[in-house]
Chain A
Amino acid sequence: MIDALGRSVLTVLVAIGAGIIAGLARVGRVAKFAARTVAAAFTPPFYPGRFFEQCAHIGWFSLPVVGLTAIFTGAALAQQIYTGGSRFNAQSTVPAIVVIGMVRELAPVLVGLMVAGRVSSAMAAELGTMRVTEQLDALATLRTDAYRYLVAPRLFAAVLTLPLMVLLANAIGILGGYLLSVHKLGFNAAGYLATTRSILEFSDVMMSVVKAGVFGFFIALMGCYHGYDARGGAAGVGRATTDAVVSAFVLILFSNLLITILAFG
């Protein structure tokens, strides 16, 4: 009886241990992948053309979805603060909370998630297809390092363009809140803008930019890592795509919390 109990406890412990080791091994593989990419990016040959192409893919073509997300969220946020604030006569806090909420939290996170959905999946699908059709092997036989040619341009383009997009989303989100407050809730236009300007600090914008850079890094890293490692034909590419998006989402939300706590905790 005790023997059987001991054995089942042992089985559970073994399973937990195996899970932890597998998890750590995966973290190690991702870290190695990132390190190889960064190392490759700083040794010739360089691919500026590929880098700008990726900036267009990740940044420029994401602008519509980023703009829509920001303007809708900014407007909805203003309405919620107004309704909630009216319960204790604090309607006047709308401009202040819209600007802080958008810049510090909502714009980076929502842009990060939207771009992750668009870009991580596309990267994983493209690299995964290249893996299963032997294009990555062909690249190696043609003496071209996949880290340098494919991964590094994506990683650096994402780290650069995400902050730019988030800066834009900040402005559009504030505009959304402004439009709804002035035209629907009856705020004074000049007063709204004056409050927004007086509340917003440089450190808030910095926070926004830092978060965006980190999210951009995770978006490209997860897309490329899962695509590069894809195995097993079309099904494998599908799996890689899903894994890329899910892991990018989780990393964005987790690192957002971590950065917020580190900055304000």
Chain B
Amino acid sequence: MGEPKIKLCDVAKTFGSNAVLCGVNLSIEPGESVVIIGGSGTGKSVMLKCILGLLQPDAGSILIDGREIVGLRPREMEAVRAKFGMLFQGGALFDSLPIWRNVTFGITRGRSTDAARMRKVAEENLERVGLDRKIVNLRPSELSGGMQKRVALARAIAPRPEIIFFDEPTTGLDPIKADVINDLITSLVKDLGVTALTITHDMASARKIAHRVAMLYQGRIIWHGPRDRLYDSGNPYVDQFVQGRADGPIQ
């Protein structure tokens, strides 16, 4: 195989006296969909934010297409971020802007240029995530939670990123809407060839969208393997987590 799309080496991050990441090692190939599982507060979101450059790791290195991004200047980091799209857990839509300006924000970077063309781009991307083009003029607060999440997904894919991060994409959705999101993620990976990194607690979702699953526990990746091995990993921590048992090595 060629160069990994994303490679984390011994990434560590501490907040005050709380060590959240203690040497994370992970490598993701181009076009691969990797799911990170792990309990609440194990540093999954912090890991994503380190890759996105929203947080600076205290130690270790993060390579994107072989290029080191730890310690990049803000301007250079902005250029690297052109490769990324991110679906935030709560959607994080800009509530002061209409839907079409939200969806095209990654292209316009907030400038109000070329409105007619941008509306069209917004409509195309909304259709890709299965939403009606009639909602382009509404505000985010006028949509249901599930629709907001899909608009957020449309916003993340509109600039055609090579890598998309999903932070708990199905949390707070009913099982049917959750499966719609799963299908969308699968089709993005298959049809557009994007590399996907997803954080989730939802095992049904993990089984559906992942090529490979990794488990983060106490700031380290303690297990990773193909999706099919998730239920016979032979790792007591993974077993307890995927079966959702209260008793076991994880307290």
Contacts and interface: CB of A to CB of B under 8 A. Distances in A.
Interface string B94-124: 1110000000011001111000000000000
A47 B110 contact: yes
Given A134-B89, A135-B94, A142 B111 contact: no
A85 to B, nearest CB: 52
Please tell me the size bucket of the interface on B. 20 to 34
B88 A138 contact: yes
Given A137-B54, A138-B86, A144 B92 contact: no
Nearest to B159: A142
Nearest to B156: A141
Contacts of A145: 74, 78
B111 A45 contact: yes
A137 B84 CA distance: 13
Contact of A47 (B54, B88, B105, B111): B111
B208 interface: no
A130 B96 CA distance: 10
Interface string A140-167: 1111110001000000000000000000
Interface size class of A (residues with CB under 8 A): 10 to 19
B145 interface: no
Contacts of B93: 135, 138
26 contacts: A45-B111, A49-B111, A49-B112, A126-B96, A130-B94, A134-B89, A135-B93, A135-B94, A137-B86, A137-B92, A138-B86, A138-B88, A138-B92, A138-B94, A140-B52, A140-B54, A140-B81, A141-B81, A141-B85, A141-B86, A142-B105, A142-B106, A142-B109, A143-B106, A144-B105, A144-B109
Given A47-B111, A141-B84, A142-B105, 4 more contacts: A133-B90, A134-B90, A137-B49, A143-B106
Interface of A: 45, 47, 49-50, 126, 130, 133-135, 137-145, 149
